[in-house]
Amino acid sequence: MSRSLTHLARLVLVSGLALAFACGIVLALGIARRAQARIVSLPTGSMIDRVAAPTGICTDTFQIVPGTLMTLTAHYNGVDRPVSFYLPTGYQPTQTLPLPLWFAFHGGAQDASVWFEPSRHTIDYAESEGFLLVMPNGLSRPSQPTSTNYYWGDPINQDYIAYLLDCMEQQYTIDSSRIYAIGFSGGAQLAYQLAARPDISPRIAAIATAAGEWGARSTSVLTMPWDIIDPNATGGRPMSALLLQGGNDQKSRVEGGFEEGFETVRASFRVKVDAWRLHVGTTTTLPISLTQAPPRVPATLHANLTTGHVVVEAIDPILPHKWPDWNYMGAIVDFFNQAPTRSVQVNRAIPISAPPPTHALLQYAPIGLSSITSFSLTPGNLQTITLTYSNTQRDVALYVPGSYSATQVPLLMALHGGGQDASAMFEPSKHITTWAEAESFIAVFPNGLPRPGAPLTTTNYFWYDDVNLPYLNYVMDVMMANVAIDQQRVYVIGFSAGANMTYRLASDRLTAQRIAAIATMAGHVGSKSAQSPTLPWENDDPVLNGALPTSGLFLQGGEDTTHPALGGLSFDYQYIVHAFQTKVDLWRLLIDQLSGAGNSLNLPYAPSRVTATRYVNPNMGYLVVAAVDPLLGHAWPDWDYMGTIWTFFEQTPLRVWPVNIYLPLIMR
């Protein structure tokens, strides 16, 4: 394989060209390379970052015969584990030319023999490219008989791979700057985990995967939090990655959400790609062609022009959950040959920073807070009241229908988007006050708080501050103390950041007891800062928090680039968000609706272009409706979404007081 490709990084450094001109070079090279069906030229063989040499002690001796596929036994942590090797023909123990080292990780319920299959070309490339190939086996699932259906779920597997790496470096002439990992499905997940380890990632130059869970939460163990592999937060070293996704993969779906067995809710492919882009700091994007890939497989390269790190994403639209039947290994070889290598400096410490503590939800009494404000009502008119909470005065707009007569009525809380104020929700085009008048419910429009450091006189409010959670409970208390509210029919709706706040209210164990249903436009249930990448993911997980089942109507804009339907980076590179399907399926898990594809329906008051799917828990009646408007951007729709919302709310179960309906879910 030729390695005489143009060194882009060297050109940029020598010429001192501006970034825009450098991007032009990348684009020009990309166009030229497409004709050759190879990855765009990169700074081949560049030495990146200085890292510590391995210090582990290998207690096994692996006598591998060159040119022979061999399976030997490793003894690790009291367990005998078969591991397969291929050492290229002609290798001599005394040779001075070091070999690259590859690890290949099988998928779940497989073993290392899958890499022996001629159709994968793994052994062929190890011979022709001259690298030592190590094909370990995972472990049997706990409490299951020993078999050849191995898995990588046990964290000890990560240390086991580091042990094998030590053995290879101590017993063979290995190029420690060119150590790579490839994996499929569960093996891909192991590759991601190794790349996130601050003690192992400095030893790996690049990875390549097909499928593989990057972030998920269990549907069977509800007390387990989201398991997200986040190298930024855990101190993993940046490395290049080639990520292949099957468009017909029902286990690790492109759009995220439930896999086919309903065992997990998963992050989308877009979230995985953009998390990796954030990790390596890419600044340039262009379409490319993969070596050996059929024309149906589009690929995109994201490059960091300073370090040479790249992320290549590719989707095979017809590929199910399997290794591709075309020569993906050829694309991997070409990718690794062009990726920056690792440089090793002996006995240099690796700085490891502990991730910051995870966010903890506030604990407070959900009702009966002190200092309830009293006020007079002006039915049929929009009025503003001023509340004092946590030593801060905050205005709240309120609409009481003209027909109000002290008989209990529903309460609807409408939360504005970030950078807005309450007036954005009661403007006539949103029809909220119109529906409040027609259907006789109270509509309350709170304001968020200014960004930290902004003047209190601003009307650009946000919902970041933790105090907003108890504050909105206080607003409910104030309404219930002054207006005859039907406490079984309290609803919350929100747009964008207000939708985020809506999810948070319904995810809080105490607040969810007060809410019968929610409805949102945009918003996310989990995000990661792209500006402070060492911060961990923040997830609003109602199942983990023990929140009650709550019905939800979720609308997504097909043209939304702030909260993209497939998740990933926002258009302004402020954060990475979970995909729409991930949000929907997390809520399906909350209402215990884990079977079936749902039923399509026509949303009332929505144009025909809007597609919607309805999921129902037949035992308790909880509903989830997921709708997509393909023409809608990051905005409240110009059609009567409030009419849709109120129709939905009228079909949802009441919130029963006292709450006594959670037992069936606990016992499932």
With CA atoms as reference, report the closest residue to 292 among 41, 112, 42, 120. Answer: 120
pLDDT of residue 106: 97
Domain with CATH 3.40.50.1820 in the chain: 8-345, 382-666
pLDDT of residue 510: 86
With CA atoms as reference, report the closest residue to 373 among 387, 383, 384. Answer: 387
| Phi, psi dihedral angles at 49 (to 5 degrees) | 35, 150
Residue numbers in the chain where pLDDT is lower than 70 = 1-56, 143-147, 343-372, 453-458, 657-668
Cα gap 191→103, rounded to integer Å: 9
Q: Tokens representing 293?
A: 């890939």
Cα gap 98→382, rounded to integer Å: 77
Q: Tokens representing 484?
A: 């005859």
pLDDT of residue 571: 79
Could you read off the pLDDT of 333-379 as tens digits, one per residue? 999 999 998 864 322 222 222 222 222 222 333 333 445 678 889 99
Q: In CATH, what number does 8-345 get?
A: 3.40.50.1820
pLDDT of residue 119: 94
One-character DSSP codes across 230-276: -HHHHTPPP-EEEEEEETT-SSS-TT-EE-TTSSEEE--HHHHHHHH
Give the single-character DSSP code of 448.
-
Range 382-666 has CATH code 3.40.50.1820: yes
Please state, as a whole number, how many other Cβ atoms lie within 10 Å of the Cβ of residue 31.
Answer: 13
pLDDT of residue 359: 25
